Amino acid sequence: MQFLEKMEPGSWRLRVRVKPGAARDEILGLHGGRIKISIKAPPVDGKANKTLCSFLSRCLGVGKKQVFIERGRGSRNKDILVRGVPESVFEAFKQALES
């Protein structure tokens, strides 16, 4: 999967494309090998990045400190690192995106 990479047991890299300033926070599907996510927050003072990490932590059922931006803080294309998540969670997430 281009948008999902297992790093080590319990750690994953998600490749996302963010659309800040949207009407609501939601996963829109796949776009160019990345997960396209709309975020309500504007891309000002890191608000969209913070909202993105909070949104993903809720979607995956993990704590906010387990989700952080590895690359792309100032870009729409970001690599997100998620730690401490069982493989079953990502299998369900991956299947939902691909359907």
Tell me the CATH number of domain 4-98, given options 3.30.200.20, 3.40.50.720, 3.30.1200.10, 2.60.40.10.
3.30.1200.10
Distances (CA, A) of 54 to 20, 39, 43, 45, 86: 14, 11, 15, 16, 19
pLDDT band at 41 (very low <50, low <70, confident <90, very high): very high
Q: Is the pTM of this model over 0.85?
A: yes
Beta bridge partners of 8: 11
**pLDDT of res. 9:** 86
pLDDT band at 1 (very low <50, low <70, confident <90, very high): low
Question: Taking Cα atoms as reference points, which of 52, 55, 49, 56 lies closest to residue 89?
Answer: 56
**Mean pLDDT of all residues in 7-22:** 93
Distances (CA, A) of 7 to 29, 37, 97: 22, 22, 20
